[in-house]
Amino acid sequence: MNETITMHGLNVRVTRPIGGSRPPVLLIHGMFGGAWYWEPYQRFFGTRGFTTYAIDLRGHHGSRAVADIGKVSVRDYVADALAVAATLGRPIVIGHSMGGIIAQRLAEENAVIAAVLLCADPPRWITPLSIGLLTRMVRYLPELLLAKPLFPTRADADFLMYNRVPVEERASQYAQLVPESGRAGFEMSVGTIAVDASRVRCPVLSITAEDDQFLVPRVGRAIARKYHARSMTFAGHGHSIMSEPGWEKPAADIAGWLEEVLALDESAA
């Protein structure tokens, strides 16, 4: 069953399996994105008995209105996700890109039972910057430095986000992007979001894509080392790993890891 509900002023797309009894899964989108791009994962995890909750963060796709999206902090988005996670009662969290750093903060707050980080933005002391990203970022410096709304050109989106998406599908995905916070982009670029690894007690899985031009594989591997976490790298994929052709393989490996984690948790209990 699929429905859209409102939780804490946020739009949440819910997929409920018939007879599912596994812990809920909270899905957190990245920059410019929304709950819409989790649809393949919601279908997939629904067939495995998971109820999934894909949120639209404030200022995205009709969720809680903000006076100026350019000035929203990553910490504001963390507050959104924490509120929903508390309502769900310590779910599993899967965060993509910016959603990945939000997921790390939820893990630090003991708000989730497991965290999957998909091509995630890193916390302080792990730089997300690469030559390709820096080259593309130059044109957005005014928005980043002055906390203005941020939106990628089609060419930059194709290079950074859609390089592994079929050309004929890129326009429809680009059309669904929304302006993002320049302040949040700046915070992630310069590493102002800290996470205390000693407080992250839940299992963590860091997923990287071999062809990711936005957050290169080095970033995901460094995140895994920080949390002494499992790391997986997928060939033939880029930043939009959850909706590219062949997305089923990473999704299946994530599901397998979650089943292992949940089985260990049950045996420990």
The 3-class secondary structure across the chain, one letter per residue, is: CEEEEEECCEEEEEECCCCCCCCCEEEECCCCCCHHHHHHHHHHHHCCCCCEEEECCCCCCCCCCCCCHHHCCHHHHHHHHHHHHHHHCCCEEEEECHHHHHHHHHHHCCCCCEEEEECCCCCCCCCCCCHHHHHHHHHHHHHHHCCCEECCCHHHHHHHCCCCCCHHHHHHHHCCCCCEEHHHHHHHHHCCCCCCHHHCCCCEEEEEECCCCCCCHHHHHHHHHHCCCEEEEECCCCCCCCCCCCCHHHHHHHHHHHHHHHHHHHHHC
pLDDT at 84 over 70: yes
Which tens digits make up the pLDDT trace of 109-151? 999 999 999 999 999 999 999 999 999 999 999 999 999 999 9
Q: What are phi and psi of 77, to 5 degrees?
A: -65, -40
Closest to 114 (Cα-Cα) out of 240, 261, 234? 261
**Rg value, the chain, Cα:** 17
pLDDT at 269 over 60: no
Closest to 54 (Cα-Cα) out of 19, 20, 91, 18? 91
Task: Identify whether the C-beta of residue 200 lies closer than 8 Å to the C-beta of residue 227.
Answer: yes
Q: Where residue 183 falls among pLDDT bands split at 50, 70, 90? A: very high
Region 42-56 average pLDDT: 96
Q: Where residue 2 falls among pLDDT bands split at 50, 70, 90? A: confident
pLDDT at 264 over 80: no
Which tens digits make up the pLDDT trace of 191-235? 999 999 999 999 999 999 999 999 999 999 999 999 999 999 999
> Given this model, what pLDDT does residue 268 score?
57
Identity at 139, one-letter amino acid code: R
* Cα→Cα distances 262→91, 120, 255, Å: 12, 23, 10
Q: Where residue 99 falls among pLDDT bands split at 50, 70, 90? A: very high
pLDDT at 263 over 90: no
Closest to 83 (Cα-Cα) out of 45, 26, 30? 26
Which tens digits make up the pLDDT trace of 227-245? 999 999 999 999 999 999 9
pLDDT at 168 over 60: yes
The dihedral region occupied by 55, where left means phi > 0, alpha psi between -120 and 50, and beta the remainder, is beta
Region 172-192 average pLDDT: 97
Domains of the chain (ranges; CATH) run: 2-268 (3.40.50.1820)
pLDDT at 154 over 80: yes
Q: Where residue 190 falls among pLDDT bands split at 50, 70, 90? A: very high
Region 70-93 average pLDDT: 98
* Percentage of residues in the chain having pLDDT higher than 90: 94
pLDDT at 189 over 60: yes
Q: What are phi and psi of 95, to 5 degrees?
A: -120, 135
